[in-house]
Chains A and B, each alone.
Chain A
Amino acid sequence: MKFNPITRRLYTNQGIHIKTLHCPYSQRWDALRQVEGHKTRKCDLCAKDIVDTRGLADESVLTLVARDASACLKVDVSQDNIRVVNLE
């Protein structure tokens, strides 16, 4: 996947827009409660499971968001499956 930290837009490697990341509460991954046995963490503010995209294939993330446009994702720019783009 490609991620622009300036616009917070997440794309597949082929350039398909997956999602623009936005959290009104400025939640931080480290502060979220881990869900045992899952790659997700629980957000107590909006009662959503936040999916860690580390190690996920582009298609999996695209399918996830296609199924639920409000799905919440976590992206770290240092992930191996992320390429940072500073210009689109």
Chain B
Amino acid sequence: MSNPDVKHLVPMVAGKEMRKARKDLRIIKTARDQKAINRAVENGFFPLMKPVIPSSEIHATVAVYQDPNTGHIEVGGDFRRGPEDYGDGNYETVVHISYYAYHFPAPFAAYLLPVGLAIGELVILEDVIDDIVGSRFQGNTYRLEKCEAIWNGRDFKLQIPDVDTSRIG
């Protein structure tokens, strides 16, 4: 895993050149169960195993509004709307809970290291395993999904960006 590959070393360039250089970054995939990890091994990757540990800093809020007459419920997660916006305005908040909203198939996962990954290489982690706050809205905190990272020969040093409320795709 320490075979130097000049093309993928951390680009010491800025601005437009940096944007061009980012296109050349390798994308490191994540496998989230035994079958997927072993399939990757058969295809020449080495799995860098990690535990999947939910962080108490990651949480989303859900409110349940109920019509007291019929029992019908509506579920909300955006508090720019409240119970008064449902039905004839007679709905009431019956549940308001903050919870860990992510689901993963196993309590472990692996970054799939490609052959020739060089020490100091800047890559993109397509599916970050660590629970890191990537965005905040109305008190909700969402996971950082993707992130640039530098391979140090043993692990990735994540280049954690500022929190951002927008998504692209």
Contact A27 B168 (CB under 8 A): yes
Q: Interface majority SS on B: helix, strand, loop or mixed?
A: mixed
A58 CB to nearest chain B CB (Å): 16
Contact A28 B77 (CB under 8 A): no
Band of interface residues on A: 20 to 34
Contact B19 A44 (CB under 8 A): yes
- Interface positions, chain A 43-88, Cβ under 8 Å from B, are 43-45, 50, 72-78, 83-87
> Does B93 lie at the interface of the complex (its beta carbon under 8 Å from any beta carbon of A)?
no
Contact A26 B146 (CB under 8 A): yes
Other-chain contact of A23, B78, B135, B146, B148 (Cβ < 8 Å) = B146
Other-chain contact of B140, A25, A50, A73, A86 (Cβ < 8 Å) = A86
B165 CB to nearest chain A CB (Å): 5
Set of chain B residues within 8 Å of A78, measured between Cβ atoms: 137, 165
Total inter-chain residue pairs, C-beta < 8 Å: 101
Set of chain A residues within 8 Å of B137, measured between Cβ atoms: 5, 77-78, 84
- Interface positions, chain A 6-28, Cβ under 8 Å from B, are 6, 8, 19-28
> Does B155 lie at the interface of the complex (its beta carbon under 8 Å from any beta carbon of A)?
no
Contact B168 A29 (CB under 8 A): yes
Contact B124 A25 (CB under 8 A): yes
Q: Interface majority SS on A: helix, strand, loop or mixed?
A: loop
> Which of B20-28, B30-38, B43-51, B108-116 is the interface stretch?
B20-28
Set of chain A residues within 8 Å of B143, measured between Cβ atoms: 6
B131 CB to nearest chain A CB (Å): 13
Q: Given A44-B19, A44-B23, are A76 and B78 neighbors across the interface (CB < 8 Å)?
A: no
Contact B77 A75 (CB under 8 A): no
- Map CB proximity to A onto B46-76 as digits: 1 under 8 Å, 0 otherwise: 0000000000000011100000000000011
Which residues of A are at the interface with B, using a C-beta cutoff of 8 A?
3, 5-6, 8, 19-31, 43-45, 50, 72-78, 83-87
Which residues of B are at the interface with A, using a C-beta cutoff of 8 A?
16, 19-20, 22-23, 25, 27, 60-62, 75-78, 80-81, 101-102, 124, 126, 135, 137-138, 140, 142-143, 145-148, 161, 164-169
What are 9 pairs between A and B in contact, CB < 8 Å? A3-B167, A5-B137, A6-B101, A21-B168, A23-B167, A23-B168, A25-B25, A28-B166, A86-B60
